[in-house]
Amino acid sequence: MSDRVIGVIGGSGLYAIDALEGATWTTLTTPWGDPSDAILVGELEGTKMAFLPRHGRGHVHAPSDVPYRANIDALKQLGVTDILSVSACGSFRDEMAPGDFVLCDQMIDRTRGRTSSFFSSGCVAHVSLAHPTCDRLRSAALGAAQGLGITVHNGGTYLAMEGPQFSTLAESRMYREVWAADVIGMTNMPEAKLAREAEICYLTVAMVTDYDSWHPDHGEVDINQLLATLGANVAHGAALVAAMPAALNGPREACPQGCDSALQFAIMTAPEKRDPALVAKLQTVAGRVLG
């Protein structure tokens, strides 16, 4: 068994991965509350994999209420080193058409009121988020997606909005024309921030379901059409996940980009000034540097 553990956070439409061998739904608790659901833990080609449905089976949690901290803590408890976030999204680009995949390398966070850090007063930390997703994971996913014949775009900016309503036409135009976002969804922030704080490599695999509301030929988001496209996309998403162990083959080396050492010099609060209760809560995600 390799020391790499692949975590998959399944978004809308992706609630299980059938290909996992010897898989069992495992219930975990965390100091940040319960994760979205039990986690399906199994193995594929000698690599341990852990699958967590972001909204829970049956789509219980709204984007604003997903327990993002608990989800990342629970995956870290399972030893997850690399997370693929398989997420539905709208597109701001003609060429990123419904059915296509976009492997995102940048993000804009427009969410409001979500707790976006494990750290706070009593244990303050500042990690870099200049490159919020992992390039090594992106290269591997690119090769795997191309091998499966998926139309895939290498790079793109994901705008995370609060939701649950879709954007107004004015917002959609602004995100596209002024902010140069490529795709839009409601969930990958603060997820990506928390994964970085937990020193887990993270990649957004955005599955395009619609053109949001800016496109003159497509009108506004039609949820029935979106769900139909999602149904087709999800099979590709599951196939991509199943191809990842082979794509990441070989022993896991330290992340060249430093995702897995993000906390090395990040904690600012002097050891004697740290809040013991908060430090105890941080053991899973930051125990490596907190001791």
Ligand X SMILES: CSC[C@H]1O[C@H](OP(=O)(O)O)[C@H](O)[C@@H]1O
Ligand Y SMILES: Nc1ncnc2[nH]cnc12
Q: Which is nearer to ligand X, 4 or 190 (CB)?
A: 190
E strands, 166-274, in order: 183-185, 201-210
What residue type is 162 in one-letter code?
Answer: E
Dig out the tokens for 159 from the structure: 């705008």
C-alpha dist (Å) from residue 290 to 32, 74, 147: 18, 18, 42
Does the protein bind ligand X through residue 284 (CB under 6 A)?
no
Instruction: Judge contact between 2 and 219, C-beta under 8 A.
Output: no
For the CB of residue 214, give the shortest distance to ligand X in the complex, in Å.
Answer: 17
Binding part of the chain for ligand X, among 110-118, 144-152, 185-193, 276-284 by CB under 6 A, reads 185-193
Alpha-carbon gap, residue 129 to 87, rounded angstroms: 20
Taking residue 115's Cβ as centre, other Cβ atoms within 10 Å add up to 12
Residue with tokens 């917002």: 171
Q: Is 187 annotated as a binding residue?
A: yes
What x/- string results for residues 46 through 75 when contact with ligand X is judged by CB under 6 A? --------xx-------x------------
Q: Which option in ligand X, ligand Y, none does residue 193 bind, with CB closer than 5 to 8 A by kind?
A: none
* Residues carrying an active site annotation: 210, 212
Q: Is 275 annotated as a binding residue?
A: no
Residue with tokens 């928390």: 194
Q: Is 274 annotated as a binding residue?
A: no
Indicate which single residue of 152, 221, 242, 244 sits in contact with ligand Y (rule: CB under 6 A).
221
Beta bridge partners of 39: 26
Q: Which is nearer to ligand Y, 57 or 218 (CB)?
A: 218
Does the protein bind ligand Y through residue 166 (CB under 6 A)?
yes
Residues that bind ligand X (CB under 6 A): 11-12, 54-55, 63, 87-88, 163, 185-187, 226
